Structure 1
Amino acid sequence: MAIFTDPIRDYADFRPGDAEWLHLLVGDWQLIADLAFADLALWFPTPDGSYVALAHVRPSTTHTVFHRDFVGERIRADLKPLVDAARESQTIERSSEADWTTEMAMRVEAVPMVRNGRTLAIVTSHMDLSSSRMPSRLELTYRQCAYDLLKMGTLGLWPDFASPTGSRRGAPRVGDGLIRLDADGVVEYASPNGVSAFRRLGDVESLEGRSLAEVTTALLKDRRMVDETLPLVVTGRMPWRTEIESRGVSLSLRAIPLRNERERFGALVLCRDVSELRRREMELVSKDATIREIHHRVKNNLQTVAALLRMQSRRMVSDEAKQGLEQAMRRVATIALVHETLSQGLAQNVDFDELIGRQFRLSAEVASPTQAVRTERTGEFGELPSEFATPLALVINELVTNAVEHGLAGRHGTVLLTAERSRRGEEELLTVSVEDDGVGLPDEPRREGLGLQIVRTLVTSELGGRIEWTARNGGGTCVRIDLVLNNNTAR
Structure 2
Amino acid sequence: MSTLSDLVYAQGLSDAADVEWLHRLAGDCQLLADLAFADIVMWVPTADDSFVAVTHTRPGGAATLFYRDIVGERVRPQWRAQVRSAFLGGQIVDSASPDWFEETPTRVRAVPIVREHPRRGQKPAVIGVLTRHTNLGETRTPSRQQITFNDCADDLFGMVAAGDFPDLSAPTGPRRGAPRASDGLIRLDVDGMATFASPNALSAFNRLGFDDELEGQSLVEVVTDILPEKRQFDESLPLVVTGRAPWRADIEANGVTISLRTIPLRGHGTRIGAIVLCRDVSEMRHQEQELITKDATIREIHHRVKNNLQTVASLLRIQARRTHSDEARDALTQAMRRVSAIAVVHDTLAQGLAQNVDFDEVFQAVLKLVAEVAAAPNTHAHTRTVGRFGTLPSEYATPLALALTELVTNAVEHGLAGKEGDVEIITERTDQKLEVRVRDNGVGLPEGQVGRGLGTQIVRTLIQGELSGSIDWHTLEGQGTEVTIEIPLRYIGLDEA
Q: TM-score, normalised by structure 2?
A: 0.92
Residue-by-residue CA offset, 1:254-284 (whole Å, 9 max, x unaligned) = 1111012231111111111111111111222
Give a deviation string over 1:48-88, Cα, whole Å, max 9, x none. Answer: 44332222111111110111332222322222232233334
Find 2:429's aligned residue among 417, 421, 425: 421
Residue 227 of structure 2 corresponds to residue 220 of structure 1 = yes
Letter in structure 1 aligned against 2:366 = Q
Measure how far apart 1:458 and its partner are.
0.9
Map 1:90-489 to 2 at 5 A.
Answer: 90-115=90-115, 116-221=123-228, 225-370=232-377, 371-424=379-432, 429-445=433-449, 447-472=451-476, 475-485=479-489, 486-487=492-493
Superposition pairs of residues 4-15 of structure 1, within 5 angstroms: 4-9=4-9, 11-14=11-14
Q: Matches of 1:488 and 1:282 in 2, distance apart?
A: 31
Distance 1:146 1:329, change over 3 A: same
1:40 positional shift = 1.2
Q: Which runs of 4+ in 1 moved over 4 A?
A: 488-491
Amino acid at match of 2:146: E
CA-atom RMSD, angstroms? 2.2
Amino acid at match of 2:446: P
Q: Name whichever of 219-228 and 370-379 sits farther off.
A: 219-228
Paired with 2:17 and 2:419, the residues of 1 have a C-alpha distance of 63
Does the aligned pair in 1 maintain the 2:310–2:343 contact within 8 Å? yes
Q: In structure 2, what is the Cα distance between the partners aligned to 1:43 and 1:269?
A: 28
Report the equivalent of 2:118.
Answer: none
Change in Cα spacing, 1:415 to 1:120, as seen in structure 2 (3 Å) is same
Partner of 2:85: 85
Give the aligned residue type for 2:218: S
**1:464–1:39 distance in 2 versus 1, CA, 3 Å:** same
Residue-pair matches, total: 487
Cα offset, 1:391, TM superposition: 1.0
Q: Is the 8 A contact 1:360 1:397 kept in 2?
A: yes
Inter-partner Cα distance in structure 2 for 1:235 and 1:133? 34
Cα 1:488/1:60, change in 2 over 3 Å: farther
Counterpart code for 1:438:
G
Structure 2 residue matching 1:180: 3-state secondary structure: strand
User: 319-328 vs 342-351, which deviates more?
Assistant: 342-351
Contact 1:292 1:345 in 2 (8 A): no
Correspondence for 1:34: 34
**Cα separation, partners in 2 of 1:307 and 1:287, compared to 1, 3 Å:** same
Q: Which moved more, 1:204-213 or 1:294-303?
A: 294-303
| CA shift in 2, pair 1:396/1:48, >3 Å | closer
**Who is 1:56 aligned against?**
56
Tell me by how many angstroms 1:32 deviates. Answer: 0.4
2: distance between equivalents of 1:88 and 1:397?
Answer: 67
Which whole-Å CA distance do the structure 2 matches of 1:4 and 1:368 have between them?
Answer: 56
Moved more, 273-282 or 470-479: 470-479
Q: CA deviation at 1:331?
A: 1.2
**Cα separation, partners in 2 of 1:47 and 1:168, compared to 1, 3 Å:** closer
Find the counterpart in structure 1 of residue 120 from structure 2: none
Mind listing any 5+ residue stretches in structure 1 that lack a counterpart?
Answer: none
Structure 1 contact 349–489 (Cα < 8 Å) conserved: no
Output the CA distance in 1 between the equivalents of 2:344 and 2:486.
23
Show structure 2 runs of 5+ residues with no match: 116-122
- Contact in 2 for aligned 1:182/1:265 (Cα 8 Å): yes
Instruction: Say if 2:53 and 2:74, in contact at 8 Å, map to a contact too.
Output: yes
C-alpha separation in 2, matches of 1:129 and 1:210: 35
Q: In 2, distance between residues paired with 1:147 and 1:446?
A: 79
CA contact (8 A) 1:395 1:459 kept: yes
Q: Go from structure 1 to structure 2 and tell me whether the alpha carbon gap of 1:76 and 1:11 turns closer, same or farther (over 3 Å shift).
A: closer
Amino acid corresponding to residue 104 of structure 1 in structure 2: T
1:153-177 deviation digits (Å, cap 9, x = unpaired): 1111111112333434211111111
CA contact (8 A) 1:349 1:490 kept: no
Q: CA deviation at 1:444?
A: 4.7
1:30 offset after TM fit, Å?
0.9
CA shift at 1:297, angstroms?
A: 2.0
- TM-score of the pair, normalised by structure 1: 0.93
In structure 2, relative to structure 1, the CA distance for the partners of 1:312 and 1:47 (3 Å cut) is: closer
In the aligned structure 1, how far is the partner of 2:114 from the partner of 2:451? 79
Given the superposition, is the C-alpha separation of residues 326 and 101 from structure 1 closer, same or farther in structure 2, using an over 3 Å criterion? closer
Q: Cα offset for 1:447?
A: 4.4
Aligned to 1:79, the other structure's residue is in SS state helix
Q: Distance in 1 between matches of 2:142 and 2:311?
A: 74
Deviation at 1:125, TM superposition (A): 0.9
Q: Distance in 1 between matches of 2:5 and 2:366?
A: 47
